[in-house]
C-alpha cells in the first residue's frame, strides 16, 4: 500500500468511461406516437372499405366473364347466325320485293296455302333457298312458331319444307267438309236466300274432289225446302249465280204474296213426320215402269237427287213404322222401305213434271234429260 504524507488524504478517482453520442429524439415521431389527430382514423378506414369493395367488384366481374366464356354457349344454345338460319347462303335477286301473302294461321287447308304461296312465287319456283326463306312471311301465330322450331339439318330442299308443313297441318284436310255435309245444310230462318247460297257455296269450295257445275246446282237445290225446291227443280240454270237470282225472286214473292204469308217450312222433324206422311197418302203419284229401289241409285249417280238424312223416330211409333226395313233415301234410317218412301216419290214426281226425268217405254230404265235448252 503506498505511503502518503501525514495529513494527506487521497481522493478516489473513478475509472474512465467511454461515452457515445446520443441522438436527439425525433419530435415528429414523438408527435406521431404521442399526439393523434381525431379525423385521421375515420378517413383511413373509409378508404380501406372503398378499396376492398372495388377489389371485390373486379373479382366478381372477372368470375362472371369466366363463367360466360365457359358455360354461356351451353346455357343459351348456339347464337351463330349460320346455325340459327333455316337455310344459309340465300341469294336475294336484285330489286326483289316480297309478295303480299295471305297469312296462314293453321286452321284451313294447308295444301291450298301451298298452292297460293307457290303461285305468288312462280317467278322463283326453281330457287329452293328463296322459297324456303320467304315462306315464313306467309305464316302467322302458331304456324310462325312452328317454322322457328324447324331443324335446319332436316330441311335442304323446298320439298322437305312442304312435306313437313303438310304433315303438321294434315288434320285440317281430314276435317274438311264432304258431300254429306253439304247435303245436310239448310237455310236458316234468319238469313236471306242469298246469304244461305253464299254460305253453302263457300263450304262447297272446300270439298275434295271438287264438284262439277251440275253436281253443284243439283246438290244445292236438293237442300232447299218449299217453296224454293218446288219452283226451282225444273228451272234451266247454267250457273250458280242464276240459281241465286231465281231464289231471290221466289223469296220476294213469298214475302209479299198473301198466298205464302202463312205457309211454313217443309216438315222434317220427328213431331211432324207422322202428319207429313198422312198428307202424302192422299197424294196421287204417277206409276213408273220400275221400282223406286232400282231408280234411286240411278238418280243419285246422275245427281238428280241427294241423300236426305232424317231424324230417327222415337216411341210411340206410328202404325206404318216397321223396324225391319230401312230407307236408303234417308241414309238408312229405320221405319219404312225405299219403295214406300213418299218424299222420294214426291221428288221423282217433280222431276218428271219438270221433264228432267223420262222413262223409256221399251226398257225399265230411266233416261235423265238435263233439258239443256239455251
In a domain, 20, yes or no: no
Is 256 found in the same domain as 298? no
Give domain status of residue 29, yes or no: no
Domain span at residue 257 reads: 177-266
Q: How many domains does the chain have?
A: 3
Q: How far is CA 359 from the centre of its chain?
A: 50
Report if residue 225 sits inside a domain.
yes
User: Does one domain contain both 255 and 312?
Assistant: no
In a domain, 22, yes or no: no
Domain assignment present for residue 56? The answer is no
Residues 226 and 273 in one domain: no
Q: What is the CA radius of gyration of the chain?
A: 50
Separation between Cα atoms, residue 308 and residue 305, nearest integer Å: 9
Instruction: With respect to residue 343, please indicate whether it lies within any of the assigned structural domains.
Output: yes
Q: What pLDDT, on a 0 to 100 scale, did the predictor assign at position 101?
A: 92
- Contact status, residue 320 vs residue 278, Cβ threshold 8 Å: no
Q: Which of 176, 210, 231 is the last residue of a domain?
A: 176
pLDDT of residue 67: 75
pLDDT digits (tens, 9 = 90+) for 270-320: 444 555 555 555 567 788 888 888 888 888 877 777 777 767 777 776 776
pLDDT, tens digit (0-9, with 9 covering 90-100), for 274-286: 555 555 555 677 8
What confidence score (pLDDT) does residue 275 get? Answer: 52
Are both 197 and 142 inside the same structural domain? no
Average pLDDT over residues 346-355: 79
Dihedral, 56, 57, 62, 64 alpha carbons, nearest 10: 110
181 occurs within a structural domain? yes
DSSP H stretches of helix in the chain: 27-34, 40-76, 81-84, 110-120, 128-135, 142-148, 158-168, 171-174, 179-184, 193-204, 213-222, 228-232, 240-256, 258-261, 270-281, 292-301, 342-353
Q: Which of the listed residues 266, 284, 299 is the one where a domain comes to its end?
A: 266
- Give pLDDT tens digits for 195-246: 999 999 988 888 888 888 888 888 888 888 878 887 777 666 667 888 888 8
- Which tops the pLDDT comparison, 322 or 178? 178
Looking at the fold, whether 252 and 278 belong to one and the same domain comes out as no
* 37 part of a folded domain: no
Q: Higher pLDDT residue, 335 or 362?
A: 335
Same domain, 133 and 71: yes
**Last residue of one domain, picked from the residues 123, 141, 176:** 176
- Regarding whether 291 and 237 lie in a shared domain, the answer is no
Q: Could you identify the residue written with the cell 457515445? A: 20
Say yes or no: 272 and 374 in one domain.
Answer: yes
- pLDDT tens digits along 37-63: 555 555 677 777 777 777 788 888 888
Q: Does 79 lie in the same domain as 172?
A: yes
Residues 259 and 274 in one domain: no
Cis before residue 265, ω within 30 degrees of 0? no
Q: What is the pLDDT of residue 198?
A: 92
Same domain as 291, residue 191: no
279 and 242, same structural domain? no
Amino acid at each position: 500500500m503506498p505511503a502518503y504524507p501525514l495529513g494527506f488524504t487521497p481522493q478516489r478517482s473513478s475509472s474512465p468511461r467511454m461515452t457515445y453520442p446520443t441522438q436527439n429524439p425525433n419530435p415528429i415521431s414523438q408527435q406521431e406516437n404521442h399526439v393523434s389527430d381525431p379525423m385521421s382514423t375515420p378517413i383511413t378506414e373509409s378508404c380501406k372499405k372503398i378499396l376492398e369493395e372495388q377489389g371485390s367488384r373486379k373479382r366478381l366481374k372477372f368470375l362472371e366473364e369466366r363463367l360466360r366464356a365457359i358455360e354461356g354457349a351451353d346455357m343459351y344454345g348456339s347464337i351463330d347466325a349460320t346455325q340459327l338460319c333455316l337455310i344459309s347462303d340465300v341469294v336475294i335477286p336484285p330489286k326483289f320485293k316480297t309478295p303480299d301473302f295471305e297469312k296462314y294461321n293453321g286452321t284451313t287447308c294447308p295444301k291450298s296455302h301451298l298452292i297460293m304461296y307457290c303461285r305468288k312465287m312462280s317467278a322463283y319456283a326453281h330457287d329452293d333457298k328463296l322459297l324456303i326463306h320467304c315462306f315464313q312471311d306467309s305464316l302467322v301465330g302458331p304456324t310462325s312458331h312452328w317454322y322457328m322450331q324447324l331443324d335446319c339439318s332436316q330441311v335442304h330442299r323446298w320439298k322437305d319444307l312442304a312435306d313437313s308443313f303438310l304433315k303438321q297441318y294434315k288434320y285440317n284436310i281430314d276435317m274438311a267438309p264432304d258431300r254429306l255435309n253439304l247435303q245436310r245444310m239448310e237455310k236458316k230462318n234468319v238469313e236471306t236466300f242469298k246469304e244461305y247460297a253464299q254460305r253453302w257455296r263457300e263450304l262447297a269450295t272446300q270439298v275434295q274432289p271438287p264438284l262439277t257445275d251440275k253436281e253443284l246446282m243439283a246438290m244445292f237445290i236438293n237442300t232447299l225446302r218449299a217453296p224454293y225446291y218446288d219452283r226451282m227443280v225444273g228451272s234451266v240454270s247454267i250457273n250458280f249465280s242464276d240459281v241465286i237470282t231465281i231464289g231471290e225472286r221466289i223469296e220476294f214473292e213469298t214475302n209479299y204474296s198473301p198466298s205464302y204469308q202463312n205457309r211454313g217450312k217443309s216438315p222434317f222433324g220427328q213431331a211432324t213426320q207422322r202428319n207429313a206422311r198422312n198428307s202424302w197418302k192422299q197424294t196421287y203419284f204417277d206409276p213408273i215402269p220400275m221400282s223406286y229401289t232400282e231408280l234411286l241409285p240411278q238418280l243419285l249417280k246422275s245427281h238428280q237427287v241427294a241423300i236426305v238424312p232424317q231424324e230417327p223416330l222415337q216411341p210411340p211409333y206410328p202404325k206404318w213404322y216397321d223396324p225391319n226395313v230401312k230407307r236408303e233415301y234417308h241414309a238408312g234410317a229405320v221405319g219404312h222401305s225405299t219403295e214406300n218412301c213418299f218424299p222420294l216419290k214426291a221428288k221423282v214426281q217433280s222431276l218428271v213434271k219438270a221433264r228432267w226425268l223420262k222413262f223409256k217405254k221399251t226398257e225399265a230404265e230411266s233416261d235423265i234429260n238435263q233439258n239443256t235448252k239455251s
